[in-house]
Structure 1
Amino acid sequence: MTAFWVVAGIFIVIALLFVIPALLRNYAPGKENAERETANVNIYRDQMAELAEDLRNDILSREQYEASKEELQKRMLQDLSTEHPFVKTFAVKRHGITAAVITLLAVPLLAVYLYTVIGDARGLLSQSQLASATQFHSNDTEEIPDGHAQMKSVMENLIARLQDNPEDVEGWLMLARSYAIMGRFDEASSAYSKLVEMQPESPQFLSDYADVLAMTNEGSLIGKPAQLIDKALKINPDYPKALALAGTVEFEKKQYGAAAAFWERLLVLIPVESELAKSISESIVQAKSMADEDEEQSAPVQLAKNDSVGTDIAAAPVPDNASTKQPAASGVPSISGIVTLNPALAGKVSATDTLFVFARASVGPKMPLAILRAQVKDLPVVFTLDDGMAMTPAMKLSSFPEVVIGARISKTGQAVPASGDLEGYSQPVKVGDTDVAVTIDQQVP
């Protein structure tokens, strides 16, 4: 966005450099004087271009650039309106100066105003800006924090455009992605549903829809998301995202061999030297290792079931909060610790409220890298998060040097933050730490 306004400003200035001398030239006849003014204009234009180049190359800061540009414009106006000692010129008429000043002010203001009113703001939103946008806690665009007014404006323009043109596929895609970045997965899934309705044979939209639906289902791809992924692969068996998600579905079902098979198909479709290829390779190794462990354990487990003592063990009930106490698989990167609740907030929760414990990158995307679910009655909770809990192979604990462990008590039972939820976060920690302490000590406004 900043680069756009810089470029737009440069073009406006260049346009004015053509208009202003023309206004003044009519009242300052003389060939030699006109040639001198033209030369000055060219010089200032070159200087303006050099300033813009210095800004792009980080030689000048934004403040230095603005100050230099303003000084250059002042010198330009002074030079163009000053009589030269060696050329006899006529005095510039007062109304000529007035017209020039009005033009100088009116042109850029009018251009900016017209763009904000009738321009297409989607062109200003780059993929990098979307990727770095923070997760909002709001369920309504009117409640977006002041610091994100730019995103709010874009969203309003998108919604207005789609009301006028409901068949705008590009608009629906941008809206869906924006909602997903903001953490508003219910709205994102509705937008992707519209896209799938308009283009039911698109593996991209089917895969993205499945991914977003999983976020509304506590990160699980089981159910409708898995059906969408299967449909995407029937349309295009080599669509990368569908293969990645299909592997995750099998991993979630504990079908580790099948998961590795999907990810091996994905691996041949991506550049060998890329970071994604490295991450996929690690996931394949992990899945195969866990598949081998399952095979090794299957024989003794079967024998145990035939023994009376073994039958009693197999029939023993599993505690409700067992998922929070399972040790990480051997060799799998993990983080463990304990979650506690500030006693001052104890009166604001009930025993059956849902507790989410999750890890996310300390710098970068806010999507959970691993997540588990418990209840308030289980507090204090001793937890272990590992790569086996990753939602996608490319987004897991070991993919980031530092992560933040968060804990949230949800009144609604949904993973998406809502007003009134209680939460707490750790300081950035490294994968492998075993004594991470998280205290839930604040309320979502």
Structure 2
Amino acid sequence: KIFTAFGLFIVMVSSVLFLYQDMGAQDEIVATQLLNKLNNAKLTDEEQQTLKESLRKASINKPENGEWIYLYARMLYSDGQYVEGVATFEKILSTLPPEALADRAATLVQIAQGKFYISEQAASVEIYDILEQALAIEPGNSQGLGLAGIVAFELERYDEALVHWKALWFNMSSSPEAGALEQGIQRIVARLEEQGKTVDLSWMKRAEVKVLVTITDELKAQLKDGDAIFVMAKATSGPVMPLAALKVMAKDLPQEVILDDSLGMVPGLALSKFEEVQIIARVAKGGQPMANPGDFQGIVSPVIVKSDDTVTLVINQVVK
């Protein structure tokens, strides 16, 4: 009987543990379902609260999964619960290892943002110091650069505000958001000029490379109607990813195209950041932009980025 009672006790404990694990998993399932729905539709108020509570419970049941608590903190912000959100992000920061640089920077920016809203968008040295910590870790963090520029401006640190927004400007392509940023930069310049300072804004001219793409008669005779051409600007040294790229059809050659920041592929790698580039036009016989044996291509290098001249590029090689 003793063994029987002990066996029943083990079964009961196992059942409770299984139920606890199942309930924890259920929170993750509910959260995942609602997050998937949020990608395609707006949640009802009831669903929003269910999602927030499921994320809270999932973050407790699975503390090793940092995504749940991060999403929970973001939900607190979206509901205007900035004090609770900041406390949650500070908890996240305390658990991040020193080598998780990008995560630490992103979390510091979230903490600064929450404190900014708690203060009813009043700038403070404390908030600015947090942002500087984040940017020291990840200088290209766009959200951090944007908020740091705002806070520095409100603290009347106009030179520093300009540094932050200049870096952010290079992270952005031509867009309505970039236009709003340029207006903000002009406000900074006005304040600096009031202080008797001269500001050079020549860097704000967006890069634009005009390319006339042609092909030799010999290779043109081997083209098919469906062949695509990828025209790319790449750094002459440094990053290997294209700074700008577009796709045209081989049947339309010769054709003039324009490469600019709006065609960037990687945030922070704007064409405008570079003085010289190489231009590549590749007939991708296999349909992929990466060079493969049998592709046709032409290369012009170096090309001055902010020149008004049109570059003529002849596709005249077969990739070996």
**Shorter-normalised TM-score: what interval?**
0.3 to 0.5
Structure 2-normalised TM-score? Answer: 0.47
Q: Give the number of the structure whose residues are more often helix, by fraction.
A: 1
Q: Give the number of the structure whose residues are more often strand, by fraction.
A: 2
Structure 1-normalised TM-score? Answer: 0.35
